[in-house]
Amino acid sequence: MKKYLVFILIFSPFFLFASEKENFNLSYELINFSSSTVSQGEVLVIKVEGDLKKITLQSKSLKIKAQNLNFFKLKDKFFAILGVSVKNKPGKYELNFYFKNGKVIKKSFEIIEKEFPVTELKVTPALEKKGIVPSTIVKTIFYVNLAIKEVIENGSRNIFFDYKFFYPLEKIEVVGAFGNIRKNNNVGARHLGVDLKADMGTNIYAINNGIVRMVEDLPIYGKTVIIDHGGRIFSFYLHLEEFYVKEGQFIERGKIIGKTGNTGYSLAPHLHFSVNVNGVSVDPLKFIETINKEINF
Ligand SMILES: [Zn+2]
């Protein structure tokens, strides 16, 4: 019972409305989850199929009571991506799909605990010279994230993509894992993206179509680009050397958005790459893998 209470606080139920006039044949198979289990920091893809003409839609997306799940239509199916936070408690969760005719379809899934290593939050003498020390890193991240939260909350609900997601670099080699906890004495920060190996000046590609929402030289994050892909999906590219895009611009999948660098809190040139879904930071590489597999573009 307690677990369901936790669920309501974290996810809240959402609602699907079928027309009352139609004798709509609702079945359990209509709603599919990409998996019955999902690890902390990963995504669950919810797919709704069937004769969608018989479902009365309140808007372009299905009516959702809770704002943290957003359905989008693609290839005559409806999809929602549930981002599981690194902080969501492991255990069984139940989602209730409420239809207008009174029918409720309940589907459960399980969040699996994932181990996130604790690593050192390092600073170099060069960074110290610029005033970048562990305590200021943690404090500054807090304020920068407040500004980013505003960008995320004003994102487009309609999706801008209709094809699979690309990777941001030609070669993907992880040098900093997603979710690890970086500590230095009594201060720490959670690494909610992946660090990808890249020499200075490597081309960075937009992982999909979207609107560029932020192009800014931020403290700690350095030169940052945020792309809104719609459907409450955002990608982030940090520590850039050069920008090739402008705020408000529509960018196509695979187009160069800038060059990798070493700006902000960065020990060596690399690309920090993050994905946020419905306000939740998820493992960006797992996100690409799962969405490309499940949506079957
Ligand atoms: Zn990073």
Highest mean pLDDT among 79-83, 140-144, 183-187: 140-144
pLDDT band at 4 (very low <50, low <70, confident <90, very high): very low
Q: Domains in the chain, start-ordered, CATH in brackets?
A: 2-112 (2.60.40), 118-295 (2.70.70.10)
Look at residue 53 and tell me whether its pLDDT is greater than 50: no
Reading the block at residue 189, the tokens are: 């920060």
So what's the pLDDT on residue 89?
86
Q: Cα dist. 173→167, 272, 273 in Å? A: 11, 12, 12
What is the spatial distance between Cα 107 and Cα 44, in angstroms, rounded to a whole number? 12
pLDDT band at 49 (very low <50, low <70, confident <90, very high): confident
% of the chain at pLDDT higher than 70 = 80
* Burial class, 198, CB count within 10 angstroms (exposed 0-12 / middle 13-18 / buried 19+): buried
Residue 204 main-chain phi, psi, to 5 deg: -115, 130
244-263, pLDDT tens digit by residue? Answer: 999 999 999 999 999 999 99
Question: How many whole angstroms from 66 Cα to the centroid of ligand 1?
Answer: 31
So what's the pLDDT on residue 187?
86
Q: Cα dist. 199→34, 36, 204 in Å? A: 36, 39, 11
Higher pLDDT, 248 or 8: 248
Look at residue 16 and tell me whether its pLDDT is greater than 80: no
Strands 104-112 and 37-39: parallel
Question: How many whole angstroms from 69 Cα to the centroid of ligand 1?
Answer: 26
Among 125, 190, 170, residue whose Cα is nearest residue 260: 170
58-75, pLDDT tens digit by residue? Answer: 322 333 333 356 778 888
| Amino acid found at 106 | K
Q: What is the H or E stretch that residue 228 is in?
A: strand 222-230
CA atoms 96, 151, 156, 203: torsion sign: negative
Question: How many whole angstroms from 227 Cα to the centroid of ligand 1?
Answer: 17
Q: For the ranges 18-22, 38-42, 62-66, 266-270, which has the lowest average pLDDT?
A: 62-66
Contact between residue 242 and residue 258 where contact means Cβ atoms under 8 Å apart: yes
Question: How many whole angstroms from 254 Cα to the centroid of ligand 1?
Answer: 22
So what's the pLDDT on residue 191?
94
Largest CA-CA distance found in the chain, in angstroms, rounded? 70
Total number of residues shown for the chain: 297
Question: How many whole angstroms from 81 Cα to the centroid of ligand 1?
Answer: 23
Contact between residue 214 and residue 237 where contact means Cβ atoms under 8 Å apart: no
Residue 143 main-chain phi, psi, to 5 deg: -70, -40
Give the CA-trace dihedral at 247, 78, 37, 148, to 10 degrees: 20
Question: How many whole angstroms from 239 Cα to the centroid of ligand 1?
Answer: 9
276-297, pLDDT tens digit by residue? Answer: 998 899 999 999 999 999 987 7
Question: How many whole angstroms from 145 Cα to the centroid of ligand 1?
Answer: 14
Q: What is the mean pLDDT of residues 202-215?
A: 98
Question: How many whole angstroms from 291 Cα to the centroid of ligand 1?
Answer: 22
Among 74, 81, 78, 30, residue whose Cα is nearest residue 297: 74
Q: What is the mean pLDDT of residues 119-134?
A: 89
Look at residue 87 and tell me whether its pLDDT is greater than 70: yes
Look at residue 155 and tell me whether its pLDDT is greater than 80: yes
Question: How many whole angstroms from 79 Cα to the centroid of ligand 1?
Answer: 29
